[in-house]
Amino acid sequence: MKYISNTIIWIQNDFRSHPFRFVIEFFAWLITIGCSVVMAITVPNPPLFELYIVWIFGCILYTWAAWTRGSFGMLANYIALTLIDSVGLYRIILTG
């Protein structure tokens, strides 16, 4: 139970110290969850073009948040995801 209360305190402290970043990260989280739900519901033919656009936007938000947080692992992860998924979007555009 102590882990839950410590986590809640950590979230509150994060919000108090950087409210703008907290809101951006929360919005990016909603975007990624939304994309995952849409993907799961629409398999085997998900709307990849639209999902890629929204997902990449979420990754860019996370990249900014990681940069301002000073988190190298998160920054590297979201830069890589942004680049990889941008290539996927580009390939969808090319193949029409």
pLDDT digits (tens, 9 = 90+) for 28-48: 999 999 999 999 999 999 999
In angstroms, what CA-CA distances link 1 with 8, 9, 37, 48, 81? 11, 13, 30, 41, 34
Crossing angle of the two packed helices 19-42 and 48-69, in degrees rounded to 10:
150
pLDDT of 69 higher than 90: yes
Residue 30 lies in a domain: yes
In angstroms, what CA-CA distances link 81 with 57, 62, 78, 90? 11, 10, 5, 14
Residue 11 lies in a domain: no
CA distance 76 to 62: 11
Q: In three state form, how does the secondary structure of 68-93 look?
A: HHCCHHHHHHHHHHHHHHHHHHHHHH
Residue 60 lies in a domain: yes
Residue 13 lies in a domain: no
Domain span at 65: 19-95
Residue 8 lies in a domain: no
pLDDT digits (tens, 9 = 90+) for 2-21: 889 999 999 999 999 999 99
Residue 67 lies in a domain: yes
> Structurally, how many domains does the chain consist of?
1
